[in-house]
Amino acid sequence: VADQAFVTLGTDDVYCQGALVLGQSLRNHMTSRKLAILITPQVSSVMRAVLCSVFDEVIEVDAIDSADSMHLALLERPELGVTFTKLHCWTLTQYSKCVFMDADTLVLCNIDELFEREELSAAPDSGWPDCFNSGVFVFRPSVETYNRLLQFATEHGSFDGGDQGLLNSFFSNWATTDIGKHLPFIYNLSSSAIYTYVPAFKHFGRDAKVVHFLGSAKPWHYKYNPQTRTIMQDGSTSGSQHQFSYLVLWWKIYYASILPLLEKLPEMEDMESQGQKDETTHLISELSTQLKPEEPNAEDERKKWEEGRMDYMGKDAFEHIKKKLDTFLK
């Protein structure tokens, strides 16, 4: 099925990290479809090289920004004007059918069956279920549709300032016409729905196929401890255990499959310019700030001892304890 693809979008190096995890999760679940990513000129050459090792096609497009600060303020997401760039996905006419997925989504199993659906299929938005969420949708590339969308955007704008408002107005009969175009919510489970309807999540959550980290707190904003395989929780993080388990899954993929690609890249000597070297060093240092192993906190440590949960093989190994005792006995 070489003429069908999963498509995502990354307008900067940060969102591209999300796209890499998404792409890797699709590969881990053996998709038989192609993987394509739309990027904008802002994406660094280092990031492009990494993207090439996960995606079949890395396609540069111009950024389109709604510049609609008024509606974006209502959405409380001033940064999302640039999501109009998503519209470029309709120009990918080398494919007959595609599934678009936001860079902040993660697949939990093979979802190739989505290609049996027609344009425009999508799951309800948890904030307003008569709208579809534009983080996951099935579409048919067509230059004609692309031009009509641009025309529509110029004439009517978007009620939320981003692509979702525009697409819902354009495909306006989604809510009422063809139930076949309503994807089950498990194909776009927004992490916020987990706490807004806990019993439903308890009942249906195990069937989830795609998790969408919708909202301003993205997986890459959290800190992850690779030793304990936990998300570091401080005053600024909130969420249920389930949300954290999806975040941990995101980070496990990032840590196991994406970071090694980034680290392997700088066969620094092979890089042509100093600029490119600096870019790589900068990127890697930015990424590694997210990976701070947790500093042991004295109180937690004591609690662990009192509960009999010592780290016998590591810092509580007998040789370490003996060394400590020796310092007292000297």
Footprint of ligand UDP on this chain (CB under 6 A)?
8-12, 15, 79-80, 82-83, 102-104, 135, 214-215
Does 105 bind ligand GLC (CB under 6 A)? Our answer is: no
Is-contact 156 165, C-beta < 8 A? no
* Minimum CB distance to Mn ion, residue 293 (Å): 29
Does 124 bind Mn ion (CB under 5 A)? Our answer is: no
* Minimum CB distance to ligand GLC, residue 320 (Å): 49
Written as one letter, the residue type at 248 is V
For the chain, the straight-line distance linking the first and the last C-alpha, in angstroms and rounded, comes to 73
User: Toward ligand GLC, which CB reaches closer, 23 or 135?
Assistant: 135
Residue from 120, 212, 211 nearest 166 by CA = 120
Candidates 90-98, 157-165, 198-206, 280-288: pick the segment binding ligand GLC (CB under 6 A): 157-165
Is-contact 110 30, C-beta < 8 A? yes
Among 5, 26, 68, 104, contact with Mn ion (rule: CB under 5 A): 104
Residue from 138, 125, 159 nearest 90 by CA = 138
Cα separations in angstroms, 55 against 8, 49, 161, 244: 10, 10, 29, 27
| Residue ranges in 17-46 that form contacts with ligand GLC under rule CB under 6 A | none
Find which of ligand UDP, ligand GLC, Mn ion, none residue 121 binds, CB within 5 to 8 Å per kind: none
Find the helix packing angle between 13-28 and 45-54, rounded to 10°: 10
Find which of ligand GLC, Mn ion, ligand UDP, none residue 160 binds, CB within 5 to 8 Å per kind: ligand GLC
Gap between the Cα atoms of 323 and 319, Å rounded: 6
Q: 318: how many CB neighbours lie within 10 A of its CB? A: 8
User: Toward Mn ion, which CB reaches closer, 15 or 271?
Assistant: 15
Find which of ligand GLC, ligand UDP, Mn ion, none residue 10 binds, CB within 5 to 8 Å per kind: ligand UDP
Find which of Mn ion, ligand UDP, ligand GLC, none residue 165 binds, CB within 5 to 8 Å per kind: ligand GLC
Positions that interact with Mn ion (CB under 5 A): 102, 104, 135, 214
